[in-house]
Structure 1
Amino acid sequence: MVLLYQSIVSYQPSNTKPPVLDSSEDVVPDKDSQNIYGLRPFLEAVKRDIDVVKQFLADPDAAFLPPPSTNAPYLIAVWKEVLSSSPPVIAIGKTFHERLQITTDGEGKKHARSQSSGKSSRSGVKVDVVADNGHTWIRVNTAKNSRLLAEFREIDSYLTDSDPEGDGDNASSSLAQIEFDNSLLRTGRALVAAARDNPVLGTTNPPEVVFRLTRIDPDATDGNGNDPRIALTVNSLRNMGLSIKLGERGAIEQLVKSFPALSSPRTLTPTHRINLDLSILIALVSDLTHAPLPESVDAAHERFVPSTAYLEWKRSRLRAKSGGISGNTSAAREDAEDPLESTQHSRALAGQLQQEMRKGMFQEIRERLLACRPGQSGADASTDVSAPPPEGAPPLAEFWTTAEARDRCLRIVAKIGGPAERRRAHALFPTSSSADGVEPPPSPAEQEAQYWAGSRYPRGFLPLPPIRVFSAREAAQPPDSPPRAGFFSALEATCRALLASDDGPSHPRAAEGSGSGSEISRASVVRSNVRLTTHTAQSMLCGAARGWTTLTANRASVKAMLREVRTRGYGLDPRHRGDGPVGHVALWMVDPRSLAEGLRSDAVGASPLTPV
C-alpha cells in the first residue's frame, strides 16, 4: 500500500497539455495529475487505508486480533488499471446516470424508473477509470468465486423452500428467480445502460465498457469454488456487449517501470495572426502600458494616491445616486467606505504598474513574436526590444478583434479613460471615430503617430494600428476555414456549445442600451457558466475556428473555458497531437492593465469618470 501511495503521488499522466501560454507574473505551476477527476479523493482513500493498517500494527496484541477490514485489493486493482489504460485517463471513480423512463400509472401519476433495473431511484453506476479520453470505461470487481457461490446458495434456498404444489401462499415462492440473475449481471446491465445514455461527448457513440473481474475464475478446479453458473455469468456479461477481463494485472512495480515516458514538452509559439479580446484592447490603450515608469516602488504607490478632490467628487456622485438624501443610512455607509474602496483600487493600479516596472507587457509580447521568426533565437529577441523593427522588415504580427470587443472598448474608454487613453483607442479604431463622415479617416501613418505619441516606447514598437475587425458573418463562421483537430477543434466546439445554449442576456442590465445612458451596460454572461461573458466566448471562438492565437489578460475566463473543455469531453485527444515538437499557442495570457490615466494623483483637469 505504501508503494501504491508513492506511485499515486509521483504520477505524471501522459495527458497532452492544452496549448496555453501563461506570461503573467504570478504563474503557479500545476501538475497535470490534478486535472484528473477523482484523483485526490482516491489518494485520500489510500491514505486512510494505510492509516488503518498502521494503527492495527501498532497494537501490541495485533498478532492475536482478527485482521482489519481493508480495501487494499480494490484500490490496488483500480490503480493498476490507471497505469495500464490507454491515455489520457480523465477520471477515477466517476458516477454516471442512465436516462430514466417516464411511465404513467392508472391514476395519471408519472413515475421515473431505471430502464435496466426498473427501480425508481437513480443512484447511478460507478466507473472506476475513465480512460482513452472518455472512450473507455473500466469497472473493477474484486469479489471471489465464493461470493457468487454464496449468492447461488441463497437463490437455491428460495427454490427449495417454495412449494410448487401449494396454493401460492408461500412467501418464499415470491423470491424465487424467474430468470437467471445475480449482482454481477445487474451491475453489467447498469453499465451498458449508462454507457448508452452517456455517449462520448462530441460523438453519438457509447464508450467501450471493460469489466475487470480480478478474482473470478469460471474454470476453477476446486470443487468448492466452482459452479457452472459462474461461467454462465461471464458469458452473459460478454453477450451484453461488455469486454470481460479476468485476473489481475502485473505488479505495480512492473507497471510503473513500463509506464510510457513523458514526451518532451512542445515549444509553443504564437501564430502570425493574433486575435485580441476586450481585456487586451483595454491594456493596449492603458496609461500603465505607455506612461514613463516611476523610479521606485514608493513612487508607484504615490502615483495613485486618491486626491482629496477625487474623493469629494466620488462622495458627491454617491449622494447623487442615492437621491441626495443626506440622512440615508446606506448612503452614509457608502460615504464612509468610499475612501477604503478607493485606496484598494489605487493599490491594484500600483501593483499593475510594478509589473510594468519589472517587465512591460509590450516587451513580453515583442520578445515572443521575435522568437517566432525563422533563425531568431530568444536571446536575439531579448537584446533588441528597445528599438522598433528595421525599416522595411515584415510586420511581427497581424492583430484582429471582434466588433463587440471593439465597441465595448470604445464605450469604456469614453466613459472612464483619460485624454491620452481615448486618443489611443481612436487611433486603433479610426473608422468608428469618424463614422459620421465629417472628417476623413486618418492615414495609417497618422494612426501610428497618434497611437504612439507620448508613449515610452518608440513608434512602431509593435504593429498595432490599425487593428482589423471581424465582420459579423466572419465572427460566426470563418470563410473557407479548414477542419481542425486537437485543442483548437476542442475549443471551437466548446465555444459553439456554450453560445448555442445562450438565448439572451442573463443579467438584467445586459439588455439595456449600449452605453448611451449614464452607466455602461454590463456584458451578458453565458447562461451555463456565469464566469464567462458572451463576448469572451465569441472572441475565443473567432481565434479557435481559424487556428489563431487568442491574446487575453483575463486569466479567470481562460481557466473557466479550460474547465468547460474538460467537462464537455472535448479534451485534447492524444491521437491528434500534431507533427513535430513545435505547436501553436491557442490561448496566451498576460497580466491585466486597467485604465489609469484619470486616477493618477498628478492628473490635471476634470474627474476621470466624467463623460467626454
Structure 2
Amino acid sequence: MPSSINESLRIYREIFDKSDLFSSNDDRLLVIDNWLNVPNDWTCSGIEGFHRWRMLLKSDIEATEAMLQCTDGDEPLISSNLIAHWTCWMALINPAVSKHPITAVNKYFILPKREGQKGKPKSVKVDIVADAGRSWIRLSNIKLSSILAELAEMDSLITSSDDDSDSHVDQPMPVPSLLKIGHELSAASIKFIIHDQRPDIHLYLTRLSREEVAESDSRIKGQLETLNLYGIQVHFGIPTYDLKVSQKQPRVALKPTTNINLDVSILIAFTSITTHIYNPAEASLKPNNATEHIRAISNQLYQESGVCALFDLIKETCDTETLQFWTTQENKDRTYSILDKIGGATEKLRLESIFEGGNDSFWDGSRYFSNQMGGLPVKIINDSGDDVPTASFDDFVLRRAHKALNSDGNMGSAGKLTPHTLRTVIAGLERGWTTLTSNRQSIKALVQGWHTHVNNNSSLATFWLVEPRSLSEQLLEKSDRKSNK
C-alpha cells in the first residue's frame, strides 16, 4: 500500500466514488403489490452497514485532506485506516470472495453467554455477510511481526511463572488473537442457522503469505490448524479486483401463477355487493354510523379512480382463459359462517354460486355480467396435495409459516399471525401457487427476513396483494378478525 499522504488520499477518494456505484443485489421479493398510496418496498437491495461504512470512509478522507493543509503531501501517512478500508472494498466487490447477495458490512453478532457471565453479552465482528447470510468473511490485517510478538510475550510469561515458583496467584495465559477471533466466530455462528446450516466462515489474513508462515515459528502453523478445527477456512492475502459497473437489464414484470390461491378476504371481496354494483353509493349497508358510510363510499370511489377495481385488475393481470381459483375447505367454511352473520341476500347467493358452478348466477346483477371473468368456480384444495405438482418457490417463507403455525402463530419480533392465515399461505406455497390476499400486514410479517434466502430468478409471484375495496368487505373482515380472538 502507498505510504504518502497524496497517494493515500487518491485511493481513499477512488474507493469512495466507486462505492457509490456498487450494489450487491437488486433482486425483489416475489410480491405483486396493488395497494393504493402505500410504499411498495419489496426489494432487498439494501446492505446493512454499507452506508455507515461509506461515512467512516468519508471521515477518513476529510481527516487526510485536513492533514494536507499543514503537511507535505509526499510525507508518509503514519497512521490511517486505509488498509482496512481497501481490503474491505476488495472483498466486497470480488464475487469470488463475497458471493451475492451481500446483506451486511461490519456487522456484530452476539456471542452466547457463558455460565455465570454478568453484564451485556459480548459480540464479534464480521466484516462482510455474503451469500444471503450463508457466508461470513472476517478480514485480519495482522502482520507476522505482531504474531511473533504475541508468541514472545507468551514465552516471557511462561518463563516468569517458572521463576516465581513461590507465587500462588493463578495468572491465565493470554489467548493468541487469531485463536480468540476464531473461537468467537465459531461460537457466534451456532446461533445463526441458515437452512439448517451454520454460515461458512472465511478468515482472510490480508498481510500474510503462506510461504512466510511456513518459514516462521511452527506455532503459527499450529494456530491455523486449530482454526480449521473450528470450521474456519483460512486464506492468505486478499485478491485485487477491478469493479466494472454495467447497465442493468430491465426486470420482467411479476405475474401470478395460473392457479391462484384465495384467502377469506378475497372470497369476501368476490361476493361483496360493492364489488359488483354499478354505483357503490347505492349499496344497502349497515355501518356503525352515517359518517362511516359516507367516508367508506368516498374512499372506494377514490380508490377506483386510481387503480382498477378488483375484477378489472385480475383481467388485466392474468390470462383468464387458463386461470383457476382455489381455496381451502377451511376458508370456504369460514366465509359461509361470516356471511351467514353479516352478508346480505345477494352476497349469500353469490357465495353459493361461486363454489357450486352457477356462473351466470354469480354474475347476475353485476356490472361485469356482459364481460365475465374466467377462473370460476372456485375449487377446493385437496389436503393430501395430490392435486398439484411439487412447489417451485423458495422454501424460506414456507418453512417460516410452518414454524409459526407450530408456535401458535407466533412470528417472534414480526408479531403474530392467525393459524388459519398461516394454513392458507402454506396451502399456496406447498403447491407453488400465488396467494391472492388483502391481508398486507400479515404478508409483511411473514416475509420478514426473506432477503436472506431469496432466489428469485422466477417471474412468478408468491403473493399478490390487493386493497380492501369497500365498506361491506371491511365489515365482513372485521367480523372475521373478531372470530379469531
Q: Smaller-chain TM-score range?
A: 0.7 to 0.9
- For 2:206, what is the secondary structure of its paired residue? strand
Residues 267 and 69 from structure 1, CA distance in 2 versus in 1: closer, same or farther, beyond 3 angstroms?
Answer: same
Answering whether residue 171 of structure 2 is matched by residue 174 of structure 1, we say yes
Deviation at 1:362, TM superposition (A): 1.0
Q: In structure 1, what is the equivalent of residue 328 of structure 2?
A: 402
Distance 2:337 2:81 in 1: 61
Q: In structure 2, what is the equivalent of residue 278 of structure 1?
A: 264
Deviation at 1:486, TM superposition (A): 4.2
Residues 112 and 142 from structure 1, CA distance in 2 versus in 1: closer, same or farther, beyond 3 angstroms?
Answer: same
Answering whether residue 454 of structure 2 is matched by residue 572 of structure 1, we say yes
Q: In structure 1, what is the equivalent of residue 194 of structure 2?
A: 201
- For 2:435, what is the secondary structure of its paired residue? strand
Q: In structure 1, what is the equivalent of residue 432 of structure 2?
A: 547
Distance 1:183 1:597 in 2: 63
Deviation at 1:551, TM superposition (A): 1.1
Distance 2:316 2:26 in 1: 29
Contact kept? 1:216, 1:247, Cα under 8 Å: yes
Give 1:153-192 correspondences, 5 Å limit.
153-164=152-163, 166-169=165-168, 174-176=171-173, 181-192=175-186
* One-letter code aligned to 1:24: W
Residues 133 and 33 from structure 1, CA distance in 2 versus in 1: closer, same or farther, beyond 3 angstroms?
Answer: closer
* One-letter code aligned to 2:100: P
Answering whether residue 353 of structure 2 is matched by residue 356 of structure 1, we say no
Residues 496 and 463 from structure 1, CA distance in 2 versus in 1: closer, same or farther, beyond 3 angstroms?
Answer: same
Distance 1:30 1:9 in 2: 21
Distance 1:29 1:4 in 2: 32
Q: In structure 2, what is the equivalent of residue 136 of structure 1?
A: 135
Deviation at 1:184, TM superposition (A): 0.9
- For 1:130, what is the secondary structure of its paired residue? strand
Distance 1:486 1:465 in 2: 25
Answering whether residue 444 of structure 2 is matched by residue 495 of structure 1, we say no
Deviation at 1:495, TM superposition (A): 1.8
Contact kept? 1:273, 1:548, Cα under 8 Å: yes
Contact kept? 1:273, 1:397, Cα under 8 Å: yes
- For 1:400, what is the secondary structure of its paired residue? strand
Distance 2:328 2:146 in 1: 63
Larger Rg: 1
Q: In structure 2, what is the equivalent of residue 589 of structure 1?
A: 465
For 1:215, which of 207, 228, 253 is the aligned residue?
207
Distance 1:228 1:27 in 2: 62
Q: In structure 2, what is the equivalent of residue 434 of structure 1?
A: none
Residues 32 and 229 from structure 1, CA distance in 2 versus in 1: closer, same or farther, beyond 3 angstroms?
Answer: farther
Deviation at 1:537, TM superposition (A): 1.6
Any gaps of 5 or more consecutive residues in structure 2?
Answer: 1-11, 476-485
Residues 53 and 153 from structure 1, CA distance in 2 versus in 1: closer, same or farther, beyond 3 angstroms?
Answer: farther
For 2:233, which of 233, 243, 247 is the aligned residue?
243
TM-score after normalising by structure 1:
0.64
Distance 1:53 1:31 in 2: 34
Residues 166 and 527 from structure 1, CA distance in 2 versus in 1: closer, same or farther, beyond 3 angstroms?
Answer: closer
Distance 2:262 2:171 in 1: 70
Cα root mean square deviation, aligned: 4.0
Contact kept? 2:259, 2:326, Cα under 8 Å: yes
Answering whether residue 93 of structure 2 is matched by residue 83 of structure 1, we say yes
Cα shift readout 1:55-93 (whole Å, capped 9, x = no counterpart): 563478542899697544334423432322222323334
Residues 480 and 186 from structure 1, CA distance in 2 versus in 1: closer, same or farther, beyond 3 angstroms?
Answer: farther
Cα shift readout 1:458-508 (whole Å, capped 9, x = no counterpart): 25612355322335xx0xx41265444442x33322222221222xxxxxx
Contact kept? 2:324, 2:376, Cα under 8 Å: no
Give 1:426-445 correspondences, 5 Å limit.
426-429=352-355, 444=357
Deviation at 1:263, TM superposition (A): 6.0
Cα shift readout 1:381-410 (whole Å, capped 9, x = no counterpart): xxxxxxxxxxxxxx4422111233233333
Contact kept? 2:268, 2:473, Cα under 8 Å: no
Deviation at 1:176, TM superposition (A): 4.8
- For 1:245, what is the secondary structure of its paired residue? strand
Contact kept? 1:138, 1:209, Cα under 8 Å: yes
Deviation at 1:367, TM superposition (A): 1.8
Distance 2:247 2:400 in 1: 30
Give 1:62-461 correspondences, 5 Å limit.
62-63=70-71, 71-84=81-94, 85-97=98-110, 111=115, 122-164=121-163, 166-169=165-168, 174-176=171-173, 181-195=175-189, 197-198=190-191, 200-203=193-196, 205-217=197-209, 219-220=211-212, 229-251=219-241, 254=242, 256-257=243-244, 265-293=251-279, 314=289, 342-343=291-292, 346-358=294-306, 359-370=308-319, 395-429=321-355, 444=357, 447-459=358-370, 461=372
* One-letter code aligned to 2:386: P
Q: In structure 1, what is the equivalent of residue 5 of structure 2?
A: none
Distance 1:465 1:266 in 2: 28
Contact kept? 1:212, 1:245, Cα under 8 Å: yes
Residues 130 and 165 from structure 1, CA distance in 2 versus in 1: closer, same or farther, beyond 3 angstroms?
Answer: closer
Residues 68 and 539 from structure 1, CA distance in 2 versus in 1: closer, same or farther, beyond 3 angstroms?
Answer: farther
Deviation at 1:540, TM superposition (A): 1.2
Deviation at 1:212, TM superposition (A): 1.0
Q: In structure 2, what is the equivalent of residue 106 of structure 1?
A: none
Cα shift readout 1:405-457 (whole Å, capped 9, x = no counterpart): 23333344444444433443343356xxxxxxxxxxxxx3xx33332232211
Any gaps of 5 or more consecutive residues in structure 1?
Answer: 102-110, 114-118, 295-299, 315-338, 374-394, 431-443, 503-524, 600-612
Cα shift readout 1:263-300 (whole Å, capped 9, x = no counterpart): 65345332222110122122212333222258xxxxx7
Q: In structure 1, what is the equivalent of residue 22 of structure 2?
A: 11
Answering whether residue 386 of structure 2 is matched by residue 479 of structure 1, we say yes
Percent of pairs with identical residues: 30
- For 1:249, what is the secondary structure of its paired residue? coil
Distance 1:219 1:543 in 2: 56
Contact kept? 2:350, 2:362, Cα under 8 Å: yes
- For 1:466, what is the secondary structure of its paired residue? strand
Q: In structure 2, what is the equivalent of residue 507 of structure 1?
A: none
Give 1:517-528 correspondences, 5 Å limit.
525-526=409-410, 528=412
Distance 1:69 1:239 in 2: 35
* One-letter code aligned to 2:464: W
Residues 403 and 595 from structure 1, CA distance in 2 versus in 1: closer, same or farther, beyond 3 angstroms?
Answer: farther
Distance 1:56 1:348 in 2: 60
Query: How many residue pairs get matched?
Result: 456
